[in-house]
Structure 1
Amino acid sequence: MSHDPLWFAQVALAALADIAFAGTLGAVLMLGWLSKEKAFATISPARFGWARARRVGIGGALLLALANLVSLWLQAASMSGVPVMEAGSSVWTVLTQTHAGIGWAIALAGSLLLVLATASGAPFGAGRLTLAALGAIVAAAGKASVGHAADAGAFSVAEIIQTVHLLATGVWGGVVITGALAVLPALGTSLARAFLIRITGRMSTVAVVAVVLVIATGAFNAFRGLGGAAGVLQESVWGQVLIVKAVLVGTALIFGALNRWSALPRLKRTASTVDAHTVTGVMRVEAVLMIGVFVAASVLSHSVPGFAFAG
């Protein structure tokens, strides 16, 4: 693994893209739920939450598209061995003649579909949700095709599982990050309390499904990355970062479980301001941990996998 400035830039940009992707997915789900609640209506107590979700959605999608564009430029610089500012002439070659370039193009196409899905201020109906889902799948598939899973070949089981892993992690992290840091605080008034309770309940249900997929696909990726040699966990940077990621995921699960099995049921019973703040506060901690997960995942994707050291 190289620790030059280009490597750090690629890791930072990948983490930013992952967070933007998650935020967009979380916002799309929030917009879908809030649309059913008619939160877009001018007189709705939840309108502020709707507006925040919409801003996060379009902002996240645009940021994801920009990150994919810049990532392609950095990839061209890395593959051609030229300074970043001189990589422009290599972008087209990388884009059209390399597997990585094609993968980034697919990811960019997916992000543009997400931009289209989130651009309108109209209520989020089935058509826009379908477009957003398609964009998310395309974006995740594109990213999976340029990661370690691509070593198994195009359209391989490893790539498919990695695509599911990216989608599931994006949904889990997205509902937590978008909810805790943007939407739920906007539903903090007593008039919007019923909206907050219903939305957090839906968030919890979706997060449970996403977590199951994250654990299953993550276990497969970890086993594949280790190459069957547990010693790689301590002997390689990749293995050490994997441990950090696992600890972050496990800690996030603890806070998520605390909300699902304790704070949220209490909020449903009392509908009190204190309990609403508790749910949001616990979720904020989970959101910070998920941001850490995305950073760790970016380091893993730009590090030599453990199986390369397994002999």
Structure 2
Amino acid sequence: MTITAPSPEQDAAAFRAEVERDGVLERLLSSSAQLSYDPEKEVDWDAPLDPLHDGVNPEWCTLYGTDIWERMSPEQRATLTRHEAASVASIGIWFEMLLQQMLLVDIYDKDYASSEFQFALTEIADECRHSIMFAKGAQLIAGRSYLPHPRLHQAAKLLKLTARNEVAYTSILVAEEVLDVMQRDWMRGASVAPQVKTICKIHVVEESRHMKFARHETIEAMRGISEVRRKASALQIASVGYFIVKSLVQPDVYAEAGLDVKEAVAAAKNNEHHHALMRLSCVHLMDFLSEAGLLTPAAKRLYRRVHML
């Protein structure tokens, strides 16, 4: 057997790639050290909540623009938006717990001295704070939290055990990109509760680093993979996106606002206004997936079913 040593050009290219990789991660670590927030101090948890303050911008409510919305009182609308915000926050906690475990599994064998290992732990620490922040926020604005469907809740345990490389990091990106666009709008909403605005601001700033890390790791993982693996990964990632988006607003939110759940679910399912906002929130994500080779025909079909594409 003949072993061919890498050429000087190949050595140089590998060295440049490693330097660039470390540079990106070092900058992310530096950003974390300089620009991170303590929700316990930043959010005014003790301030009274105006009953007419919204949890999300009304335009983002799943029933906005429907006949049901037109029949609702201002109090009902505010209540619904707060419970929708609590539902989104709760599903965020559920997925953040999964991603923390995926990250721990992925870095288990990595070099402890590497920037990759250290930033992954930094991200996990951020996500722990975010989950506590979301839990307190849901309790504040809605008095409760929400869980995904029990079967999905159980099935998702397989994801944390099996997701590796591009599947783990792109799944993280799919979830965070959708929330990022929503929260950038909510944090500027005139009628949105001040506490929710602050929560959104903290999450947007800190998640921007996490999304950059996820993109970086996805690109690294995609180098030289087989066509079979690429297509399989694309479908698995799309399945994650499908179930996350489908779970964001749980049906119980409509009952909390005094609505007929069956009628409200049907109206939300056919609300073209909300579908258009979802597609808008996923534009940059879909561009990235396409560039990375992860927007296959099978994946597109799943994304279209939940109006991400």
Q: Which range, TM-score by smaller chain?
A: 0.3 to 0.5
Q: 1 or 2, which has the higher helix percentage?
A: 1
TM-score norm. by structure 1 comes to 0.32
Structure showing greater relative contact order (alpha-carbon pairs closer than 8 Å, 6 or more residues apart): 2
